[in-house]
Structure 1
Amino acid sequence: MGKNVVEKIDDQVKIKTILVSVSDKSGLDTFIPGLVDLNPEILILSTGGTYGKIKEILGEKADTCLKQVSDYTGQPETQGGLVKTLDFKIYLGLLTETYNAAHQDDLKRTDARAIDMVVVNLYPFSETIAREGVTCEDARGNIDIGGPTMIRASAKNFIRVASVVDPATYPAILENLKVNNGALSLEDRFGLAQKAFEHTAIYDRTIADYLAARSINDIKSCYTSGE
């Protein structure tokens, strides 16, 4: 089976569609309105509590630029948010390449959009395991699946997509967008990808270390004791 070979990309990519799903919602109150002011036609896809927060921030503007991921994909979120973003339309939108005709045909076939930016930070695993009295089930429940997958997909495709994992970078991103008429450069996207993979590497290392420090008897005790 042949691989995708990219022969042409754009240095500047205008941010038209973004996906936002964050545990740490700090900074959204200025970042989201800033994005909308720069491009009033932007589409923001979001989930759960993040969707509610953005709707609150934008007020009436949310009616024209904010959509729940479940409405976009046609698949409702499962119980407790178990599956929210793991959907073909989402990952086609993240991984598609601008100058690949087959990819563009797939977007049309599925009525999907190319996603230009992902704003994601992860379930607070390290904070959870640092709490006194935390159970292994508390820890297991805070192993994020959709978040790292979106981060990795968008960071892999830095040739087109911006992967944003740190609220501290929001002001600089807005400033770069203002300077470049709503677009981010390859240099911007590559720098964000570097931060993104470092973020997921630390996250996975923390999980691996936590699990390595426990025996199977610890795990059996956790569940047989009703924790």
Structure 2
Amino acid sequence: MKKKIVGIVAGLSLVTSLACAAPLNDFSQGKVAIDISARPSGDIKVSDSIGSETYDAKTNWEYGLTVGLGNKFAFEYKNFNPKSKDYNTILGTANGKLNTQEFNILYKADDNFTIFTGFNKVKSSYDIAGHDLDGDSKTNWQIGVTGQTKLSDKITGYATVATGRDSNAWKIGAAYAIDKNLDFNLFYAQNRYDKVKYNNVIAAGFGNDADYTIKGMGYGVTYKF
């Protein structure tokens, strides 16, 4: 039972810090990009001292905002609140949720590469038999790079790699320009977050940190103005 309950609590860790749409490439002051993306499916692998299990995620929406600051710099904010599908346990039906925020400073090295650094803040919660239980909030520092290149007049390929304290992630995708201000995006992403601790009534006494690997396809749009 311990393995199942920890898995339910853990089956939320879709910190997708990297699941936004096509990157903004113009960091002029006042330039803005708004990203709206969805992951309609995905796998969540949970590993701890007991073992590992894989769970399904619900369709979850992601939102991002990038603002040009000028002098090749930009600020980026992302929000993602993934939720697992329901699971049946001895204690009743359960599901998990992760509240995620990410803050980055971006630097445009050239037209094809952007370097960034920042942090993501994650807070877990889950519902079991109608009872809400919250976990600890954790902040992870990270550094990464995004590359992009034109594949045709309307298609841009892009990839992101990030690593930091107890987290790493990568993403690869392609953006189709519907018009000069609107892109449609298709991507595949994988995120890993380690040593996430849960302090709650059900899991109390287990003494487990959990590591999470989340992967799956997604799609979305980017509006630039």
Query: When you count helix as a share of all residues, which structure comes out higher?
Result: 1
TM-score by length of structure 2 reads: 0.25
* Structure with higher strand content: 2
